[in-house]
């Protein structure tokens, strides 16, 4: 019997939350007997490793094909992607993020291939101007499936899109499924993520600076690469905290690095459902997050029970929460215990099964018993 063929579309596999989710899904599907083709526009050095059984196809046009005209380049990219669908003949296309979603819908028209598009953050951020938003709202109505992360995201779309939209959880790496650490915790406050404007690590650094003198034994460690890393190093120096604020970049095993930490902080301006927050909660860390659109952290955290929520861009409120938790470690530990319990809904097999059933339901040709 022929294998079900799933094509996945994304810009690249550089290290980010959406890219990690798609790589995890590809790994699950190919190990479950499906045929998987990963289509990306670019290939970079700093990418998540892809299962060797997954076929990789590049959709970008070559230097020789590139014109000075943006319209010509768009047409050539459009035709190349359409030719990929014709050649690969997938049973379903799963697209992630922004323009990729619109291209997946447009290039697969009249090819009789169902398309599922996935918005991974605030739709107002992914589709950042009037024309993009108008196009997304209209094109998504043509998609066979629409995958969102939070209920807040539904409000961006018209009723005809909301009717077909589903909420699917992020699959999480097995490395984070472990018993909560019971020993003495390291005196560290940690953050994990791309070091860019949206993650707003400057807020966290300034909040830490406000409590640094009260808690001289604590360090702040921010794991991740990004264009603002050097700027944050300089800020740490200006605050005379270079020895206590560390930015080691990306590391191979995040789970081991943060497992014994006292507090995990997410300081973003906007998020979908953040992988790093889920992972920290799975391991029972005490978590503090900004209550940012499109509501992902608020879907995970009940303030004061399994973590803390603070308003976006409020250094004073972040400072207040960190001070409270470090002064009341027994409460912090209770929150960590509750975080580990409430994040059990992200158990790997359950989440992967939801994605599997959904994509199979979109296939017009049912080629496997499990579909």
Q: Please identify which residue in the block is written with the tokens 């294998």.
A: 3
pLDDT at residue 366, rounded to an integer: 45
Q: Quote the pLDDT of residue 370.
A: 45
Whole-number Å distance between alpha carbons of 370 and 357 = 8
CB neighbours (10 Å) of residue 214?
11
CB 36 within 8 A of CB 6: yes
The residue whose two tokens read 């959406």 is: 18
Residue 300 φ/ψ region, left for φ over 0, alpha for ψ in the -120 to 50 degree band, beta for the rest: alpha
Burial of 365 (0-12, 13-18, 19+ CB in 10 A): exposed
Q: Average pLDDT over the chain, rounded to whole? A: 92
Q: Name the nearest CA neighbour of 277 among 159, 152, 363, 150.
A: 150
Tens of pLDDT, residues 41-88: 989 888 889 999 999 999 988 887 888 888 998 899 999 999 999 999
Contact predicate 58/43, CB 8 Å: yes
Q: What confidence score (pLDDT) does residue 73 get?
A: 87
Cα 36 from Cα 8, distance rounded (Å): 8
Q: Which residues pair with 7 in a beta bridge?
A: 37, 93
* pLDDT score of 84: 97
* pTM, to two decimals: 0.87
CB of 30 closer than 8 Å to CB of 58: no
Q: What is the pLDDT of residue 2?
A: 60
**Percentage, residues of the chain above pLDDT 70:** 97
pLDDT tens per residue, range 276-331: 999 999 999 999 999 998 889 999 999 999 999 999 999 999 999 999 999 999 99
Domain covering 178-346, topology: Rossmann fold (3.40.50)
CA dist., res. 340 & res. 281, Å (int) = 5
Work out the end-to-end distance of the chain between its first and last CA atoms, rounded to an integer number of angstroms: 13
Calculate ∠ Cα 256-257-263, nearest 5°.
Answer: 115
pLDDT 10s per residue in the chain (371 long)?
A: 467 999 999 999 987 889 989 999 999 999 999 999 999 998 988 888 999 999 999 998 888 788 888 899 889 999 999 999 999 999 999 999 999 999 999 999 999 999 999 999 889 888 989 999 999 999 999 999 999 998 889 999 999 999 999 999 988 877 788 889 999 999 999 999 999 999 999 999 999 999 999 999 999 999 999 999 999 999 999 999 999 999 999 888 899 999 999 999 999 999 988 989 999 999 999 999 999 988 899 999 999 999 999 999 999 999 999 999 999 999 999 999 999 987 677 777 789 999 999 999 998 644 444 45
For the chain, the domains span 5-171+347-362, 178-346
**Residue 316 three-state SS:** helix
What does the DSSP assignment read for 285-318?
A: -EEEEE--TT-HHHHH--BTTTBEEE-TT-HHHH
| pLDDT value of position 371 | 53
pLDDT for the residue numbered 347: 72
Q: Is 36 exposed, middle or buried (0-12, 13-18, 19+ CB in 10 A)?
A: buried
The per-residue pLDDT for 364 is 63
Please state, in angstroms and rounded to a whole number, the distance separating the CA atoms of residues 340 and 347. Answer: 11
Output the pLDDT for position 369: 44
Half-sphere exposure of 143 (CA within 13 A, CB side): 34
The reply to whether domains 5-171+347-362 and 178-346 share a CATH topology is yes
Helices (H), 175-251: 201-211, 229-238
What CA–CA distance (Å, rounded) separates 159 from 141?
9
Contact 200, 271 (CB under 8 A): no
Predicted confidence at residue 368, as pLDDT, reads 46
- CATH 3.40.50.2000 holds for 5-171+347-362: yes
DSSP bridge partners of 186: 261
Task: Check residue 212 and give its pLDDT.
Answer: 98
């Amino acid at each position: 019997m022929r294998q079900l063929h799933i094509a996945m579309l994304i810009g690249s596999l550089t290290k980010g939350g959406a890219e990690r989710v798609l790589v995890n899904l590809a790994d699950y599907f190919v190990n479950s007997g499906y045929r998987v083709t990963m289509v990306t526009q670019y290939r970079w050095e700093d990418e998540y490793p892809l299962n060797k059984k997954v076929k990789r196809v590049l959709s970008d046009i070559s230097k020789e094909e590139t014109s000075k005209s943006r319209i010509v380049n768009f047409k050539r990219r459009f035709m190349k992607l359409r030719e990929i669908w014709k050649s690969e003949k997938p049973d379903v296309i799963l697209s992630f993020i922004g323009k990729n979603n619109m291209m997946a819908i447009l290039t697969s028209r009249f090819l009789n291939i169902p398309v599922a598009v996935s918005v991974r953050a605030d739709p107002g951020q992914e589709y950042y101007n009037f024309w993009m938003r108008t196009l997304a709202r209209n094109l998504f109505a043509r998609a066979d499936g629409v995958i969102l992360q939070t209920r807040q995201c539904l409000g961006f779309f018209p009723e005809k899109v909301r009717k077909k939209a589903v909420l699917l959880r992020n699959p999480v790496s097995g490395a984070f499924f472990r018993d909560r650490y019971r020993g003495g915790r390291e005196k560290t406050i940690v953050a994990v993520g791309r070091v860019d404007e949206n993650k707003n690590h400057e807020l966290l650094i300034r909040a830490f600076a406000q409590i640094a003198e009260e808690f001289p034994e604590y360090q702040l460690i921010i794991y991740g690469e990004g264009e603002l890393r050097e700027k944050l190093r300089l800020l740490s120096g200006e605050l005379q905290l270079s020895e206590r604020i560390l930015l080691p970049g990306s590391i191979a095993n995040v789970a081991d690095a943060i497992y014994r930490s006292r507090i995990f902080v997410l300081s973003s301006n906007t998020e979908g459902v953040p992988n790093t927050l889920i992972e920290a909660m799975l391991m029972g860390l005490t978590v503090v997050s900004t209550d940012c659109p499109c509501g992902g952290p608020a879907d995970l955290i009940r303030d004061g029970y399994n973590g803390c929520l603070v308003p976006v861009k409020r250094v004073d409120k972040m400072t207040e929460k960190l001070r409270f938790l470090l002064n009341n470690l027994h409460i912090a530990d209770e929150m960590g215990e509750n975080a580990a319990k409430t994040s059990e809904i992200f158990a790997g097999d359950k989440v992967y099964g939801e994605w599997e059933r959904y994509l199979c339901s979109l296939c017009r040709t049912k080629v496997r018993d499990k579909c």
